[in-house]
Chain A
């Protein structure tokens, strides 16, 4: 049996899992505060736009979104299998394509800022 190409999907999954662990909780906390009516100063249009307009800001936002999306897509693929959905190729294709489309969209929106 040939060696698997799983690392192609697993490596970004592992990287994304780390990014989710470190970054997503505090980002959710920020939007959650905004949802509760306490909009943090950093989420004002001027501040956030300035951040997203900077090179480092674009890189950080794109990196967090792309890796998190990929990681959750990959984990969701495994979860579908765990729930008994055995059409793995279909599930994997749909989820990975969704993650890639989401990342491309994020990149395009960032380039417009």
Chain B
């Protein structure tokens, strides 16, 4: 009796529909599209800033178009989702052992969230939002 194992191919373009956790993973990865596009916006903004006050005012005016508002809202959602997944992963990538015990993972991630909040409020304050 010879072996004749059955090979089952993984569908290379649609595998992520097989389990909800794969869709969760893909949504995390897709945030990179929005972050990448937002980086383009930042570079354009720098170019406008370097070109003088009138160019910068034009840039700010262009930000107010409906398409730009929708785009930035999506970027905001993507950036926050990325941040959450990144901070949740820190406890896996950088466990801290003190004596025999490991520092609880949530403490490591929590510290990142706290630092994130402080930094974000600091930037908002310096930018004169409040």
Q: Which A residues lie at the B interface, using CB under 8 A?
A: 17-18, 20-37, 39-43, 45, 47-49, 52, 61, 64-65, 68-69, 71-73, 75-76, 78-79, 82-84, 86, 102, 105-106, 109-110, 112-113
Contact = CB atoms under 8 A, between A and B. Distances in A.
Contact of B12 (A26, A49, A86): A86
A30 B121 CA distance: 11
B36 A65 contact: no
Given A28-B72, A35-B72, A75-B32, 4 more contacts: A20-B79, A31-B72, A37-B64, A45-B57
A36 B69 contact: yes
Majority-rule SS of A interface residues: helix
A113 B45 CA distance: 12
Interface residues of B, number: 52
B12 A84 contact: yes
A109 B39 contact: no
B38 A110 contact: no
24 contacts: A17-B82, A20-B35, A20-B86, A22-B115, A22-B119, A24-B83, A25-B79, A26-B120, A28-B72, A30-B123, A30-B129, A31-B45, A32-B73, A35-B63, A37-B64, A40-B127, A48-B56, A72-B33, A78-B29, A102-B40, A102-B43, A109-B46, A109-B47, A113-B46
B interface secondary structure, majority:
helix
A31 B69 CA distance: 9
